[in-house]
Structure formats: structure tokens, C-alpha cells
Amino acid sequence: MGIETKPAHLAPFPSDQWWVAGFGWELKDKPLARTLLGVPLVLFRTPEGQVAALEDRCCHKELPLSLGAIEPRGLRCGYHGLLFDCAGTCIEVPGQAMIPPKARVRAYELRERDQILWIWFGATPDSRPVDEPPAYRFHGDPEYSFGGDMVHYDAPYQLVHDNLLDLSHLGYVHVHTIGGNPGVHMNAQMKVTQDGDVVKVVRHMRGSEAPPTYAQAWPFKGRIDRWQEIEFHVSHMRIWTGAVDEGEAPLDDPQRGGFHMRGFHGVTPETATTSHYFWTISTNPRSNREEVTKVVVDQTARTFLEDKDIIEAQWKNQQRFGFRPQVDFHVDIGPNRARRVIQRLAGS
């Protein structure tokens, strides 16, 4: 039997963590409403480029601040015009010179790094980050091109973790894109390791047929040797998949060439039973850079929509049948370790 999981609505979220709040390109000339870890927030960028996150509630009459307007000095409420700076302090009350000391809203640390927006959720209101958010070099590496998007799930975020940490499902769910022979996926050579709170799953599939996405993106000569390296962090995952021509290079060589797909996966709870999935995919086209990148990004988007259908149907069925222990197999080692990390950090 595998790890016993509690119903999602009873599971708290790990705190004192940087969580993914979105992507820098989402913040344009209007405020963005987004609920993260159960907190309704408004995200915005000032004309000078500073990013900010405030609770989405004016302290006056409680209109969502996301219905307001961005100005050079901050965010103006769309009801009575109170102006808030990036720290959540009201700096102007129209028609009134005196600003009440309590005229403020809670602000959250929001940082932009490598085009990813990271938000800090502390265990207490006074908790502050001691480290910068994680870097992700593939968004700026000249050898790679990337694209990405956000998918909303009507399902708990740990079901998305389970899906990403167990890629044996590719042969069944993603037949027309990154799948391949189901037997090859289920019998892949697999190694699971853990370093502190980081869980890593490495899978090798030698002598495989190239799945459709791979065949369209890279000039393989015939059969291929595939790899899948999945690295779980509490707030996100990094997944390096790809292939070389059969026998061309050792699959444990960190400098190996061939076709690469480097995925960034920010899995952030919206609520206990819904989640945001922020993803990008970076690839290394040998030729026709723009065309190949579009193929990889479009087909990656298609695979994630296929996963969404599976995960949401799984969650609906869990609700329909009620909480029951699940029978686990060898492919569940990684997901179960990740769940134990979450349970420990969330104190559940």
C-alpha cells in the first residue's frame, strides 16, 4: 500500500516558501486578479517596471482593487479613488488631505526573475524571505527558445504533482504528441533519489521509436534513446526530457546533445481543491528555430490539456466515491516521496 493521503480540503499549504504567481508578460497595463494559496490578490506592474502584489480588497468599502487602475505612483481603487503604493499604503484620499493611519492593505513580496513571478507566503505576517527566488537560466539561454502559458485545474495541486512525477502515463494519455509505446514507458529503467526536500526521478528508455513531437522537431535517423529527468521542489518542478539517436551518447552525460525539452512547471494551489499550473517549455532547435519552437510549444500545450482532462476526471471520481486508500505500484515512488515532503512542511 502507498502513502495515505488526507482529503484535499483538510490539507494546509507549506509556508515560508516562494511560490509561482505567474509570468512577467502577464502584467501589462491593467491589474491582474489571482487567488493563490486561498488568498485573493491583485498583481500589477507600475509604469516604471516595479511589480507588486496586494490583497484584492480596498480598506474603504472593500471593492476588489483589481477593478481599479494602474498609475505612476501605484494602484487606484475604482470606487472612491484611494491610491495605494506598492507597499499597500494609502497615499492619497481624493477630497481629503488627512490620510487615516489605518488606510492600508496587506502587501506581499513579489519578485520577477527570468520572466517568472514569485510570491512569498510566510508562516506569519512578519516572515520575510532570506533568499532570492530560484533562477531559471533556460529562459535566457541563447541555445534555447521557449514559450508557455497557464492552465487552471479544478483539482488539488498535489494531483498535478503526481501526474508530473510519474511519466509512465505518456504512452496512454499522450499518444499523438510525446507518448510512444506504452510498454516501453511502463518498463523504463527508473531511479528515484532524494536530497532534503528535493525529489528526483530519472527514467531511461533506450531503443524507442520517436513519438510524433520528437520526430517533427529533430532529424533522428531511426530509433532513439530517451531520457526523463524530473526534479520536484515544493513550489515547482523542472523536467528535462529528450533523446539522442540510439547509441549516440550516454544518457547519464550531463553535456549530451540531441533533442532537448526543458520544462518549468510552477504548480500553485488556488484553493484546497483548485490550482494554477504555470508552465514553459524550452527547446534547442537545430534548424528552423521559430517553426520548431512553435511545434514543441503547441504540442506541449496539447499534452497539458490532455492531462487536465485526466486529472479533473480523477478528482471528480475521488469525490464521487469518497476517500479511500489507493493501491500503489513501482511508478508511485516519486509521487509518494513528494507527498511526504508536503505533509511534513505543511505540518499535516
Q: What is the pLDDT of residues 20-71, one digit of tens each?
A: 999 999 999 999 999 999 999 999 999 999 999 999 999 999 999 999 999 9
Does residue 198 carry a pLDDT above 80? yes
pLDDT at 167: 79
Q: Higher-confidence residue: 189 or 177? A: 189
Using an 8 Å Cβ cutoff, are 33 and 40 in contact? yes
Pair 45, 261: CB distance under 8 Å: no
Show the domains of the chain with their CATH numbers.
24-110 (2.102.10.10), 137-346 (3.90.380.10)
pLDDT score at 22: 98
Q: What is the DSSP letter of 124?
A: S
Q: Where is 304: in which H helix or E strand?
A: helix 289-321
Instruction: Say if CB 212 and CB 176 are below 8 A apart.
Output: yes
Q: Please report which confidence band the pLDDT of residue 172 belongs to, taking 50, 70 and 90 as the band edges.
A: confident
pLDDT at 126: 86
For residue 348, the model assigns a pLDDT of 65
**The predicted structure's pLDDT at residue 180:** 65
Write 195-198 long-range contacts (CB < 8 A, 24+): 197/233, 197/234, 197/341, 197/345, 198/231, 198/232, 198/233
Dist. CA 209–CA 223, nearest whole Å: 5
Q: Is the pLDDT of residue 5 over 70?
A: no
Q: Is 307 exposed, middle or buried (0-12, 13-18, 19+ CB in 10 A)?
A: buried
User: Residue 2 pLDDT more than 50?
Assistant: no
For residues 217 and 214, what is the distance between their CA atoms, to the nearest angstrom? 5
What is the per-residue pLDDT for 186?
A: 67
CB 65 within 8 A of CB 83: no
Average pLDDT of the segment spanning 97-104: 95
Answer yes or no: are the C-beta atoms of 29 and 72 closer than 8 Å: no
- Contact status, residue 24 vs residue 140, Cβ threshold 8 Å: no
Tell me, what's the pLDDT at 332? 86
pLDDT range class, residue 10, cuts 50, 70, 90 = very low
Q: What are phi and psi of 100, to 5 degrees?
A: -60, 140
Q: Is the dihedral of CA 68, 72, 36, 331 positive or negative?
A: positive
Instruction: Decide if 66 contacts 54 (C-beta within 8 A).
Output: no
* 279 vs 333, residue with greater confidence: 279
Q: Which positions ≥6 away from 176 have C-beta within 8 Å? A: 212, 302
Q: How high is the pLDDT of residue 146?
A: 97
How many C-beta atoms lie closer than 10 Å to residue 3's C-beta?
15
Of 98, 91, 109, nearest to 16 (Cα)?
109
**Residue 330 confidence class, pLDDT cut points 50, 70, 90:** confident
Q: Other CB atoms closer than 10 Å to residue 136's CB: what's the count?
A: 20
Question: What is the pLDDT, as a whole number, of residue 182?
Answer: 67
Q: Return mean pLDDT, the chain.
A: 92
**Whole-number pLDDT of residue 179:** 65
339 Cβ neighbours under 8 A, 6+ residues apart: 3, 5, 158, 161, 162
User: What pTM was estimated for this model as a whole?
Assistant: 0.92
Question: How many Å from the N-terminal Cα to the C-terminal Cα in the chain?
Answer: 20
Residue 200 CA to its chain's centroid (Å): 16
pLDDT of 4 higher than 80? no
